[in-house]
Structure 1
Amino acid sequence: MHVHEFMTTFQRLAGSIGQQTGDQEAARNALVCLIAGGHLLLQGGEEESRHLARTLARAVDGARDDEIRFGPDAKDLHLNEPGGPLFTNVLHVSGFPLARPEAQWQLLTAMERRAVELDSVETPLPSPFVSITALPRGHVQRLGLSRRMLDRWTLHCGIRPRVPPAPPEVFVRPTITPADLARMGEVAGAVEVPDAVRWHIVDIGVATRALPSVLVGTSGRGLVALAAAARVVAAADGRDVVSVQDVDAVARPALAHRLHMSDPQPRDADLAVDEIVAALRPVG
């Protein structure tokens, strides 16, 4: 697959999913995570995020979706059993802050390793595998999730209410094969990140640790996620080289949820990342 074919396919998928869900930004971020092998943290309505997960699955021929709902009976969930909810392609997760710490880390470990341990043997999860985790609105720091936990999600954004709500049976038709999706991942992974852009990513990371409003800045994992997302964004624009603008375009969804703020308020972390990006933007 050539990068221009990547661009055409990405735009077609993102447009179709966005039309079905009513939120182009959330649809685009979900698709970036799917291609980059990452995971999406969504804040907003649970029904809207569930609909996005189902729509994303229907956009890939033969893909399956499943759901994990944490709650008062979460202690009875056995995530690592054969044929359990983790063995799917698009996983929707709700109630994550309500889960026991053991269950939370069991899920996060599976997300990161893309595998689970069955009878002392590491068993790969299906490919592709992407999780979309729904959280209520508000600053994620106030939901009781640690920085180590939040660091496991590749991108983070909100999702707008769907008015009127989309019927749950309405999905996009399958528009891409798993083989083509894998090729899109290969194309994105091969996109070049020039040294100047790598240093720009590093400068952003350093700057997150220098703002007075930020107690703890982003991690190295966050900068890796930022570079991976920027590669997909560049390919989606038909280019095989990442630009500073590509990095800046995904800095907020890749980094804001990883910042530990001194006085966490809604959108404070978003504004902090925007401030850093504006200050580091090349002149001319």
Structure 2
Amino acid sequence: MLNQMTAVKNAIAAVLAGKDELVELTMIAIVNKGHLLLEDVPGTGKTVLAKSLARLIGGDFKRIQFTPDILPTDITGIQFFHPKHQEFEMRPGPVMTNILLADEINRATPRAQSSLLEVMEERQVTIDGETIKLPTPFLVMATQNPIESHGTFPLPEAQLDRFFMKLPSGYPNYDQEKQMLHMYRSKNPQDTIEPIFSLEDILLMQQEVQHIHVSDEVENYLLSIVQATRNHEFIENGVSPRGTLAFMRAAQGAAYVQGRTFVTPDDIQYVAPYVLSHRLVLTMEGTMRKTKENVLRDILESIEVPVESEAGR
């Protein structure tokens, strides 16, 4: 897995400069069947990342551009009457894919958002009483633009909780952006991407990651962080039980993609900001004093970290 992860990073680096950590976090989500929320300004490579990953795993890719007039059936599919055949036919929606890019999800109405989130949870669609299983693996990469509020419908906390991780895309630095100019000067490097994994490989990884060992000490450390989010003076609602499970699985995924068979406290600290921040609801005073990320950083610094010999391999 470690060699393949290096190959994935190198392949993405050929089309997106400076995204190694984002690629690693995305692979952690993929091996855990987790969905991602990418939040950043337009033009920072979110679509390129999704399309490139679909090619690297040999999977299908589809994209939905969310707008206020999009309907749930535009996402899930519909039974339509075919005038030539004089009968109803099933027309599955774009969710029938391996990697689905839900672009600007916060521009869709709550009803349309809910239809996608239900698909994410159930991994199936029901159209006029007929239930259709989604392809496996299935990953939603939803994006939202944090700088716009006009014509948007922000995802409520209960729906944010359904995303495995929330990741920033981020601007490239000077050298990375210069590298990007060179890469795209005479050709589109996305056209050269070849599969590194097969879909069967991904399904096998999703089984293997569940066997990554979590010692009692590391588990207690993880739970201490979760409990601290529920008792912090600046947090109104802490991490949910669903979030606790996602936290553990993300730590297992971090160990797995780095080629280890056990979780360390470093894995816990590494994934915590991406798994927990979007699951916190700050109090009124908390929002005026700190960001969610700052509050979580304070929590991580306040909890004793188990030493490596105690972490139990």
Q: Which residue of 2 aligns with 1:222?
A: 243
Match of 1:152 in 2: 162
Q: Which of 4, 9, 15 is 2:4 aligned to?
A: 9
**Residue of structure 1 equivalent to 2:292:** 269
Contact (CA 8 Å) 2:247, 2:275: kept in 1 or not?
Answer: yes
> How far off its partner does 1:118 sit?
2.6
Q: Does 1:258 align with 2:279?
A: yes
Deviation at 1:37, TM superposition (A): 0.2
Q: Gaps spanning 5+ residues in structure 2: where?
A: 78-90, 308-313
The whole-number CA distance in structure 2 between the counterparts of 1:44 and 1:275 is 24
Q: Does 1:79 align with 2:102?
A: no
C-alpha separation between the residues in 2 aligned to 1:20 and 1:169?
A: 6
Contact 1:217 1:260 in 2 (8 A): yes
Is the CA contact (8 Å cut-off) linking 1:139 and 1:265 kept in structure 2? no
Task: Give the whole-Å Cα distance in 2 for the aligned partners of 1:192 and 1:154.
Answer: 20
Percent of aligned positions that are identical: 25
CA RMSD of aligned residues (A): 2.6
Residue 27, structure 1, aligned to residue 23, structure 2: yes
Amino acid across the alignment from 2:197: I
* SS of residue paired to 2:125: strand
Structure 1 counterpart of 2:256, one-letter code: A
Normalised by the size of structure 2, how large is the TM-score? 0.81
Pairwise mapping of residues 94-243 of structure 1 onto structure 2 (< 5 A)? 94-137=103-146, 144-161=154-171, 163=177, 164=180, 167=188, 169-170=190-191, 172-243=193-264
CA contact (8 A) 1:42 1:132 kept: yes
User: Which of 50, 55, 67 is the aligned partner of 2:52?
Assistant: 55
- Give, in angstroms, the shift of residue 279 of structure 1: 1.7
Secondary structure at 1:72 match in 2: coil
Deviates more, 1:170-179 or 1:152-161: 170-179
Q: What does the per-residue CA deviation read over 1:186-241, in whole Å, with 9 as the maximum and x for residues that have no partner?
A: 22111121222222221111111222222211111111111111111111222211
For residues 213 and 84 of structure 1, the distance between their equivalents in structure 2, rounded to whole angstroms, comes to 42
Mapped to 2, the partners of 1:220 and 1:280 lie a distance apart of 20
- Note the C-alpha offset of 1:44: 1.2
Matching residue's letter, 2:157:
R
Q: Is 2:32 the partner of 1:36?
A: yes
Give the match for residue 3 of structure 1: none
User: TM-score normalized by structure 1?
Assistant: 0.88
Question: Structure 1 residue 121: deviation in Å?
Answer: 3.2
What is the SS of the residue equivalent to 1:240? coil
Aligned-pair CA distance for 1:73: 2.5
- Kept after mapping to 2: 8 A contact 1:34/1:130: yes
Q: Comparing 70-79 with 185-194, which one deviates more in the overlay?
A: 70-79
2:232 match: secondary structure: coil
Letter in 2 for 1:12: A
The 8 Å contact of residues 96 and 135 in structure 1, kept in 2 or not, is answered as yes
1:278 aligns with 2:275: no
